[in-house]
Amino acid sequence: MLTLLSAVITAAANLLTAVFITLCMLLALRFILNFYADGTSNPGIVFVFRVTEVVLDPVRRKMGIEPRTVDLSLIVVFFGAIFFGTLMIDLLRKIAVHLAG
């Protein structure tokens, strides 16, 4: 039973890793695309901005800042995702190893 639980926790850690890597890549891509002049007509660029806006908007409201092209919320979310994502993934993997015995 504990081995099954360990496998489930390991799978959750792997999924969380993929989510945080994707989020960080999208945020970095957004930072780069901010300087691309013809971004509004490209559906791929519009998709990146819409997806990352969902993450950035609550942070902007908490920080009380207006949305701009590049602002502090992008940097805060990027490094926060790296830091807290790494902590959570490491914790899940340690729990899985402990349960596996």
pLDDT digits (tens, 9 = 90+) for 25-66: 888 888 888 777 666 677 888 888 888 888 888 888 887 877
How far, CA to CA in Å, does 21 sit from each of 25, 26, 29, 65?
Answer: 6, 9, 12, 26
Q: What is the pLDDT of residue 34?
A: 77
Number of domain units in the chain: 1
- pTM recorded for the entire structure: 0.71
Q: Whole-angstrom Cα distance, residue 66 to residue 52?
A: 16
Q: Whole-angstrom Cα distance, residue 20 to residue 92?
A: 14
The count of residues in the chain is: 101
64-86 mean pLDDT: 79
Q: 3 CB contacts (<8 Å, ≥6 apart)? A: 99, 100
Nearest-10 Cα torsion for 12, 18, 19, 25: 160
**Structural domain that includes position 13:** 2-100
User: Taking the CB of residue 56, how many other CB atoms lie within 10 A of it?
Assistant: 20
